[in-house]
Amino acid sequence: MIAVKLRKWAFVLHRYIGLVVGLVLIIIGLTGSVLVFQREIDAFVISQRFGQVVVPENRTLVPVELVLRQVKEKFKDQLKTSVRAIAIPMEPSKPYIATVQLKDTSLTQVYVNPYLGEIMGSRDRETSWIGITLDLHRKFLAGKTGEAIAGFVALFLFILCITGIGLWKGWRNLGQGFKIAWTANPMRLNLDVHHVSGIVTVVFLTAIAFTGFCWSFSDQTKPIIYAATFTPEPAKLVSKPIAKQPALSLTTLLEKADAVFPNAKTTLISFPQKSNDTVRVFKKQAQESGERGNTRIWLDQYSGKVLQIQDGSNLSRAEMVFSSFAPMHYGTFWGIPTRILYIVVGLSPLVLLITGANMFKIRKFGKAQKQEVRDLAAVQNKEESQIHF
């Protein structure tokens, strides 16, 4: 009896949550399918707009400090704050990418030839195709409010996944749970497509929902993850200004970072925006997966002291959880096969909404039709009884 009631409530939750947030999930799903291959698409767009990087025979990159000087000089009258970050090319034909905050725009990306040190061009990140797509995916183009809405939608998707698993018809007959009767009547076919497409993608949709929710409400979920994994939450790191002494040069800071992980490749540098901010150096060790690795070094910008490290080959429990979010959300954990699979997963909300709406329509229409037949029968019976009387 309890199981029947639980199934009934699960069915009601599943139906109405799906109908309410279905259209929003379609937007998230379709944009997510595009973002699975965002790096490849964006690299093509950049090469078409700013030209290809010609790789010389020696393949010697210009120093990052030269790139930093070039960007600062180019935008010296437009910079709102310092250069935010510089991404190191991960392939020979890719440029340096410097991210800067300008006075009249949000974030601007500057592309620098890695062998010549020349600025190839720049673009406003927010108005680029990838900026708009990401904003639509994560915030519905509505800032903090949109981000909160996306977080709640992710929570509703998680509930849809859990209730969908409970309602799956395969629990009664495993073989039937994965079978689509293509030659059956439209009602049965619609039901089969809904059940099978839902159960095939449910594990991935659950992972996407969980990671999306955690990202949208990171201030609230991070402490919970630290507590749940029994990992001490790191203290806030600050640089300590030294009287009459400027910040150390980037070359010096990178030397100190290289001393910590001498065999790791530097992949990105995040620069301080305030006088007490730290410098973060991102590195990738040979045994690490992921494009830019998970090794991090926090440095005092004045003394060069190493304040904290994150060893990508020996992550804490909480760090392992956080580092798994992007691969789980975008399907990069098994390379190209799972990325292609995630394109299909991104399309599944569209299929599930259409089939779910059809089921609701059929069920509602069927009830109305049955009621109409009962009412007609009652009238006929009343008329017959009056005639006999």
Helix axes 143-167, 129-139, angle to 10 degrees: 60
The yes-or-no verdict on residue 279 having pLDDT over 60 is yes
Residues 289-309, mean pLDDT to the nearest whole number = 96
- Note the pLDDT of residue 377: 42
Distance CA 268, CA 283 (A): 7
Residue 292 has pLDDT above 70, yes or no: yes
Residue 316 is encoded by which pair of tokens?
Answer: 């804490």
Quote the pLDDT of residue 370.
47
User: At 246, phi and psi to the nearest 5?
Assistant: -75, 175
CA distances (Å), origin 374, targets 94, 300, 363, 380: 72, 80, 16, 10
Q: Tokens in use for 57?
A: 């025979």
Where do the DSSP E strands lie in 9-145? 79-87, 96-102, 107-112, 119-124
Q: What is the pLDDT of residue 184?
A: 87
Asked if the model's pLDDT at residue 227 lies above 60, the reply is yes
Q: Are residues 192 and 263 in the same domain?
A: no
Mean pLDDT of 73-99: 91
Query: What band does 169 get if pLDDT is binned at 50, 70 and 90?
Result: confident
Which is it for the CA torsion 342, 343, 346, 349, positive or negative? negative
In a domain, 191, yes or no: yes
Assess if residue 366 is contained within a domain.
Answer: no
Q: What is the DSSP letter of 242?
A: B
- Confidence category of residue 367, pLDDT binned at 50, 70, 90: low
Q: What is the 3 state secondary structure string of 153-179?
A: HHHHHHHHHHHHHHHCHHHCCHHHHCC
Residues 246-261 pLDDT 10s = 999 999 999 999 999 9
Confidence of residue 386 (pLDDT cuts 50, 70, 90): very low
Domain stops at, among 228, 247, 276: 228
* Residue that is last in its domain, among 170, 200, 228: 228
Question: What pLDDT does residue 365 have?
Answer: 59
Judge if 218 and 166 occupy the same domain.
yes
Asked whether residue 333 is domain-assigned, the answer is: no
45 and 169 belong to one structural domain: yes
Res 372: pLDDT: 44
Residues 135 and 280 in one domain: no
pLDDT of the residue at 376: 38
The count of structural domains within the chain is: 2
Is the pLDDT assigned to residue 140 strictly greater than 90?
Answer: yes
Q: Are residues 166 and 283 in the same domain?
A: no
For residue 188, is it within any domain?
Answer: yes
Residue 168 makes CB contacts below 8 A (sequence gap 6+) with 177, 195, 198, 199
C-alpha 122/C-alpha 200 separation (Å) is 42
pTM score = 0.89
What pLDDT is stored for residue 378 in this prediction?
A: 46
Are 266 and 283 in contact by the 8 Å Cβ rule? The answer is: yes
Q: Is the same domain home to 239 and 210?
A: no
Those residues whose C-beta lies under 8 Å from the C-beta of residue 285, and which sit 6 or more positions away, are 261, 263, 264, 293, 295, 312, 313
Least confident stretch, 176-180, 236-240, 306-310: 176-180
The whole domain housing 13 covers 2-53+115-228
The answer on 264 and 213 residing in a single domain is no
Domain containing 292 — which CATH number? 3.10.450
Nearest Cα residue to 247 out of 310, 305, 309, 308: 305
- Report the chain's mean pLDDT, rounded to a whole number: 91
- Beta-strand pair 96-102/279-284: unpaired
* pLDDT-above-90 percentage for the chain: 78
Identify whether residues 37 and 125 lie together within a single domain. Answer: yes
Which region among 23-32, 67-76, 147-156, 369-378 has the lowest average model confidence (pLDDT)? Answer: 369-378
pLDDT in tens, 317-326: 999 999 999 9
Q: Which residue has the tokens 């009652």?
A: 378
Averaged pLDDT, 93-104 = 91
pLDDT tens sequence across 199-213:
999 999 999 999 999
Q: Is residue 357 part of a domain?
A: no
* Same domain, residue pair 15 and 141: yes
Q: How far apart are CA 216 and CA 143, in angstroms?
A: 11
Q: Which of 61-65, 70-74, 363-367 has the lowest mean pLDDT?
A: 363-367
Examine the domain organization and report whether 267 and 191 are in the same domain: no
Residues 169 and 255 in one domain: no
Residues 217 and 258 in one domain: no
14: pLDDT strictly greater than 70: yes
Establish if 193 belongs to a structural domain.
yes
Whether 67 maps to a domain, the answer reads no
Q: Note the pLDDT of residue 381.
A: 46
* 6 has a pLDDT exceeding 90: no
Q: In terms of pLDDT, which residue wins out, 361 or 242?
A: 242
Final residue of a structural domain among 294, 315, 336: 315
Average pLDDT score over residue span 57-62:
92
Structural domain includes residue 63: no
CB atoms within 10 A of CB 163: 21
| Mean per-residue pLDDT, 21-38 | 96
